Structure 1
């Protein structure tokens, strides 16, 4: 089965692991991923941030990588994509103020296409008015945001129809696995071919 074409919306100080890991993992299993950011073009970069949990009341934020965009948001057509990925971090706080971001998100829900959102990406889902009546996970401090948008908060990874959500990068394995299921991705595990010994 051919890979799917996926769109990822990122922004400055999005969570490093939540951008880098799914971007690479989804490509590793054969999908094509375009990463875009409002007001930035293909080849430009966004700065990422690493959110770590070290026993404080909330996460510690450190500077991450410069992540290069693979497409320009004003040139992509969401109708050309089979699924959407929304990383968390600090970026969703401002990405949700861009009408083009909300319009793209609504397209995927109107067309019932797979959507993977994690951590603070719930802020974008709430702003796009797509959570109502759904079960949705997010960073624990956003429970009231999910419920305020008409959703039911779930403390873990959950799939509700086309929507797959997780709390933070600690949920990556299950979050990406459930998203692959919704995408219909088939991964076959088999013995790798062994080279025949050379004859003398």
Structure 2
């Protein structure tokens, strides 16, 4: 497998699991993930938030980890990337105010490159005006926004053309698997695995 170069746009109080898990999972299978945030440089960190689902009317939010950015947003050329990931959490509500972020998102749709987003991440795509005619999902509270942007909302992990969407981090296994399929990632599930005894 030839690894892809993937851009991940993140921000302060993005959802911890929705940033760290795909960042590590995509890297583990040979893809190169560049994590960037507007107004921050490579080596700086963002603060994440953990959203837990405990049966309340909405999620509980707690402080997550510090996540180190791998590259500077201002140095990114979207044409040099094969795919885009937009995690959820609190960050999308203000990341969508950056024209450069919206232009970056539009590039991936205009070039028909793979895009993966979940939870509140579709707020950024809605603001970029790229969702018209798509079937997709999101965190249920974001449904009115994405439907207003022209999509058909469904309550399950969904791939429609170049877009893979999920409701939130509990969907990770299926969401990441569908994104890997869209990327053309070939993982040899039949390889012999030998346990190392220590």
TM-score range, shorter chain: over 0.9
Count of residues in Structure 1 that have an aligned counterpart in Structure 2 = 195
Distance 1:89 1:194, change over 3 A: closer
SS in 2 for 1:6: strand
Counterpart of 1:99 in structure 2 is 99
Q: CA RMSD in A?
A: 1.1
* Partner Cα distance (1:163, 1:185) in 2: 16
Query: Is it true that 1:52 corresponds to 2:52 in the alignment?
Result: yes
Q: What does residue range 68-147 of structure 1 map to in structure 2 within 5 Å?
A: 68-147=68-147
Deviation at 1:26, TM superposition (A): 0.2
Deviation at 1:192, TM superposition (A): 3.3
Counterpart of 1:185 in structure 2 is 185
Structure 2 unaligned residues grouped into runs of 5+: none
Q: TM-score, normalized by length of structure 1?
A: 0.96
* Partner Cα distance (2:19, 2:26) in 1: 11
Deviation at 1:118, TM superposition (A): 0.5
The C-alpha deviation readout for 1:119-153, integer Å capped at 9, x for no partner, is 00010010000111101110011111111001111
Deviation at 1:193, TM superposition (A): 6.3
Structure 1 unaligned residues grouped into runs of 5+: 196-200
* Partner Cα distance (1:194, 1:43) in 2: 36
Deviation at 1:194, TM superposition (A): 8.7
SS in 1 for 2:121: helix
SS in 2 for 1:120: coil
Deviation at 1:90, TM superposition (A): 0.3
Q: Show structure 1 runs of 4+ deviating over 2 A.
A: 192-195
Q: Find the structure with the greater CA-based Rg.
A: 1
SS in 1 for 2:120: helix
